[in-house]
Amino acid sequence: MEALTIHPQNNEQLKAIKSVLKAMKIPFEKSLYNPEFLKKIQESEKHQEDAVILKCEEDISNYLKNPDTDVQD
């Protein structure tokens, strides 16, 4: 028999899926996200926080002249 991994997008979906599985007497187990996956997500969030967003040509020009200057609001 094959196993399925289900990814509910919110708590309402999670509750509905659990109810269906219980009603059909299908065993299931809870598990947390893979730690490596969580680490990748956290690294991505850190990169996003550190990102420099250049909204117009003036921002680009100012940034290229002095990358250490904060060009954002």
Query: What secondary structure does DSSP assign to 22-39, as a single string?
Result: HHTT------PPPHHHHH
**pTM for this one?**
0.43
pLDDT in tens, 46-69: 888 888 888 899 888 888 888 776
Please write down the long-range contacts of 21-28, taking CB distance under 8 Å and 24 or more positions apart. Answer: none
Interatomic CA distance for residues 35 and 40, integer angstroms: 9
Residue 47 has a pLDDT of 87
Structure tokens at 48: 């996003």
Domain boundaries, the chain: 11-65
Interatomic CA distance for residues 23 and 16, integer angstroms: 11
The amino acid sitting at 29 is: E
